Structure 1
């Protein structure tokens, strides 16, 4: 990024924000990096350049022939400070794309869901069995999605405090506010992040701990689309749907 002068750098930062927004709202499972650079990233870059031209926003002369190189930069997703990884390429592997979300979920899940082995589980086998049993119970009937029961004893679907914590830390962090500039992130919070929380819980279910496995795109995509079916069922419900939408809007308002 340091190769480009200030105005082009500003344009590229705008394009990177557009790309992140596009990924989170539309395409969580894009093709390999080369295909993406020549396709989605290039299209996003051209749309930002076209908007600059339409609004007559200035950029320095002499860099219009660097569009393909710029598109590769648009594919860079800047991770949170302190994750130990900087400027990971989104399309090197699916793990790079999910690393911020996965880390946020990893930090929140053990204590937020009490996915912890009891003191009595001394051996490694007992520890693993206990954690797997807890994760399995949470995933059964989407229990991990439920919030605190209200005065009538009813739990809010998709209202668990862990989900809220992960959503706000990923989409509305203090260190990176670029997504907050997009109207759709100001109005409501995207639901796709919740499917990735489900995936991390599945890791606990299968292994009894976070083994930090290489995330398999097909496995993650299958989990994601299973989750969307649950989302759609709630969204279609005459009373649960409006409550769900109102909750996401309130989370976005709090994040901003």
Structure 2
């Protein structure tokens, strides 16, 4: 998860000649922007400039790696993971990802941040509250469910849908989720 976050969010200067203090300031500022904006969870929709939730490449990559990699074959054998990634399991990944980015913000370095179960629990609860509101909007609920179904198909090896690349989400804001 940490290596995906480092690569996907591009908050660490590459090949820079900046001083250590300057790099730390840049990392802290970039991580802070990601957390405050919620952009670690979403990408702009190129068709209309609206944001779509949970479509950040890092979130998808981490979910696929965590739940469907060769080391997680047991999950691939459960019927539920054949059809979809359960919302709470996606939120668990999002909560840990938020904790990792928070650690980068606090240290200003690319070192593995300390992440406690309590921090993850707090992030999870806050994200869950927002998702519960999102799920009350039928079209947003359907978009999220379709996206998680697509991710499961990708994880199970249906790469035709992966190539198509349509990922759904939402478009209004609360905590780090747009409602």
> Aligning the two structures, in what range does the TM-score lie when normalised by the shorter sequence?
0.7 to 0.9
Moved >4 Å (runs of 4+): 118-121
- The residue that corresponds to 2:98 in the other structure is 198
Q: Distance in 2 between matches of 1:216 and 1:124?
A: 27
Give the stretch that moved more between structures: 129-138 or 143-152. Answer: 143-152
Aligned CA-pair RMSD: 1.9
Q: Distance in 2 between matches of 1:113 and 1:123?
A: 21
How many residues are treated as equivalent by the alignment? 152
- The residue that corresponds to 2:175 in the other structure is none
How high is the TM-score relative to the length of structure 2? 0.76
RCO higher in structure (CA 8 A, sep ≥6) = 2
Q: Tell me, which stretches of 5 or more residues in structure 1 are unaligned? A: 1-104
Q: Alpha-carbon deviation of 1:165? A: 0.4
How high is the TM-score relative to the length of structure 1? 0.55
Native 8 Å contact 1:148 1:160 kept in 2: no
Q: Distance in 1 between matches of 2:30 and 2:80?
A: 35
Match status 1:127 vs 2:23: yes
Structure with larger Rg: 1
Instruction: Find the partner of 1:136 among 29, 32, 36.
Output: 32
Match status 1:219 vs 2:115: no
Q: Alpha-carbon deviation of 1:114? A: 1.1
Native 8 Å contact 1:148 1:155 kept in 2: yes
Match status 1:170 vs 2:70: no
Q: Tell me, which stretches of 5 or more residues in structure 2 are unaligned? A: 157-179
